Amino acid sequence: MSRFHVVSGKGGTGKTTVAATLALALAAEGKRTLLVEVEGRQGIAQLFETEALPYEERKIAVAPGGGEVYALAIDAERALLDYLQMFYKLGTAGRALKKLGAIDFATTIAPGLRDVLLTGKACEAVRRKGKDGRPVYDSVVMDAPPTGRITRFLNVNDEVAGLARIGPIHNQAQAVMRVLKSAETAVHLVTLLEEMPVQETMDGVAELRAAGLPVGGILINMVRPQLLDEEAVEAASTSRRTAVAKALSQAGLGGARRGGLAERLVEPLLEQAREHAERLRLERAQRSAIGDLDLPTYELPFLGDGADLSGLYRLAGDLRKQGVEEEAS
């Protein structure tokens, strides 16, 4: 059963929006989800129309059926202070190191350490249990770095190999990897029906599989509706001017005489239809490429008004209709 959902995707594909949508979908029917941000952009706060997220878990939404979505913006410096206190009981000494800039220095010169801290905090939330012995969160969703960096980001065991072969950091990395490479984790990739995002998705899946990291599903975002049926697409492709002009005339848009309104509308309409038909052809090719990955696939529609809070709830409903919570369990 997957409880840790890592969401990645090429820049511009709406990765953060999809992560937020997935968190809402998984929290429906009384469940509790934690939505985690690791890149410091406060994109989650903007989507849920709330103030900037602090370094603490805070409820930001109620899902259909009474579920709850909590959110956390993980900060590497604060996470390192937590670990210094946990492992070395530094307390105020750790805070003094932060004032001196030592914490920022450590996470800058050792990016592998930063990834351990960020992934470690999220994995701790996955493993955490309440007094009743049950997990505090039914699901944890991470808005992760883009596809080009996701395998390196998650493969923290390799990242810390040159930093520490023994001791608390090494042990922490090993504990993180046990979660990341277990059945509890699923790495989902967000894409558009365009050549470059699909190719990067295919490359990302190959890299994740080679690293032994569990790939979840493909989430196709911003899918536009098919406005023309197959007959209309064929008509657009073959440029049937006479038939279009006759149809416009029958619709009451002026007679079919030369220079009339129907005649003037023919070419602009055919051009738009040809562009639509070409887009459909390209999208079919990209769907076929995604299908070759043999992974669960979900589609989210394009929102003309943008991804505001009401749009997130609509998208979450679409995901649930496609059975995303069944795949997650």
CA end-to-end span of the chain:
5
- 329 residues of the chain, pLDDT tens digit each: 799 999 999 999 999 999 999 999 999 989 999 999 998 889 999 999 999 998 899 999 999 889 999 999 998 777 777 766 655 554 544 454 455 454 454 555 455 677 888 898 899 999 999 999 999 999 999 999 999 999 999 987 766 655 656 567 777 778 889 999 999 999 999 999 999 999 999 999 999 999 999 999 999 999 998 766 666 666 655 556 666 666 655 655 555 455 555 556 666 766 777 777 788 889 999 999 999 999 999 999 999 877 889 999 999 999 999 999 776 65
Q: How far is Cα 88 from Cα 141, in angstroms, rounded to an integer? A: 30
C-alpha 153/C-alpha 130 separation (Å) is 29
pTM equals 0.84
Q: Would you state the structure tokens that stand for residue 48, as one six-digit string?
A: 């849920």
Q: 3-class DSSP state for residue 131? A: coil
User: What would be the CATH architecture of the domain defined by 4-224+302-328?
Assistant: 3-Layer(aba) Sandwich (3.40)
Name the residue ranges covered by the structural domains of the chain: 4-224+302-328, 230-276
**How many whole angstroms separate alpha carbon 150 and alpha carbon 185?**
14
Calpha distance 83→77 (Å, rounded): 10
Report the sign of the C-alpha dihedral through residues 195, 198, 200, 203, in that order.
negative
User: Are 324 and 25 a contacting pair, CB within 8 Å?
Assistant: yes
Q: In this structure, which amino acid lies at residue 251?
A: A
